[in-house]
Amino acid sequence: MSKAAKGYGTHGDYMSRLQPQIQARLEQVGESLRSAFSDALKKQETEIISFDGINTEALADSIAKFPAVLKPLLIACNVAARAIERDLGIKNLNTYTPRVSRKQASIIADYLRPHLPAMIAIPTLCYLDRVEFVDKEVRKHKGQWEKYVVTALSGFSGRGFQKRKFKAEGEIYEIDAASPTGREKPIEYAVDVKRIEARRDIHKRCDEIVTKADRFGLTYPNGKFGAVIYYPFTEEHSSVRNRLRSNKISSVVFADETETSIEDAAKLLLAGFGLNR
C-alpha cells in the first residue's frame, strides 16, 4: 500500500493546524444555537457512544465486524475516502459498503482514534450519515443524466458514442460523447455534456466548452463539435448560445431531466451534425 510522500500533509496534520479554529467555531455555533432556539430547547435521554472508553483494538474489531459503522465514524472525524487512500494507501474503499480485512480495520482504527470525539449521540451520527448519503445519491443521479444523453445520441444516430480523450498542445482533454468509439479511430463527432446548475458558473463553463472546441478543432480539423447543456434558467438559453457562438461549434442544445427533453435535444444536436436518420 503506497502512501503520500513524506513532506506532504496528512489529515492529522491538517486537523492539528486547524484545532484552534475548529474549537472556536464549535463554541460559537453551540452558543448561537442555544440562544437562537432557547424557547425550543428540550433535554432527553439518548444513546451516547463514549469513545474515551474504546481502545484502538476494540475500535478495529467493531469496524471489521460491523462495516456499516465506518462511514459515520469517518464523518465524525471529517475524513473522506481520498484521505484514507492518500494517508494509508488503502485504495478504492467504498465507505458506504466497505469490505475491509482485519488488518485494514486495524490500520483505519489507529488512524481515526485520535480524531474521534470523546462522546457522540447515536442519533447525531445517524443524521450525519444521512446527510452524506443523500448528497452521494443526488450526485449519482446527476451523473446518470450524462449517461442518458450519451445513450440517446447513440440510439438516434445509429452509431456508437462514448467517452474518449484527445491531446492538443500538450494537454489531455476528455470528450463526454465521442464517435466513432475506440481509441484508434479519429474522432469525427465530439459532444461536451454539461450540467450547469448555478448562474455564477455559466461563464466559466462556457469558456471551458469553447476552449475544448478550439483544441478539438486543432487535433481533428474535419471533426464536428457540439454541446448538450443542462441549465435551469431557460430565459438565458439564448444568451448562452450567443456566448458559445463559434465556427468550431456546430450545435448547442439544452435538455432538462425528462426523457423526452433528452431525446429531443439529442435529435436536434445530431441534426446540427447532419446525422439525421
151 within some domain: yes
**Which strands form 251-254's sheet, in the order they lie side by side?**
162-168, 171-179, 189-195, 224-230, 251-254
Q: Yes or no: say if 40 and 97 are a contact pair by the CB < 8 Å rule.
A: no
Query: What confidence tens digit (pLDDT) does each residue in 58-86 have?
Result: 999 999 999 999 999 999 998 888 889 98
256 within some domain: yes
163 within some domain: yes
Count of domains for the chain: 2
> What is the domain range of residue 205?
141-272
131 within some domain: no
Query: C-alpha dihedral over 143, 167, 205, 225, to 10 degrees?
Result: -90
pTM above 0.95, yes or no: no
Are 47 and 155 part of one and the same domain? Answer: no
Q: What is d(CA 212, CA 173) in angstroms, rounded to the nearest whole number?
A: 7
pLDDT for 236 = 92
277 within some domain: no
Q: What is d(CA 133, CA 204) in angstroms, rounded to the nearest whole number?
A: 29
132 within some domain: no
CA atoms within 13 A on the CB side of 42: 4
Are 85 and 155 part of one and the same domain? Answer: no
Measured over the CA atoms of residue 50, residue 51, residue 56 and residue 59, the dihedral's sign is positive
Are 171 and 238 part of one and the same domain? Answer: yes
Beta bridge partners of 89: none
229 within some domain: yes
Query: What confidence tens digit (pLDDT) does each residue in 189-228 have?
Result: 999 999 998 999 999 999 999 999 999 999 999 999 999 9
2 within some domain: no
Q: What is d(CA 44, CA 259) in angstroms, rounded to the nearest whole number?
A: 48
Are 148 and 255 part of one and the same domain? Answer: yes
CATH number of 229's domain? 3.40.1350
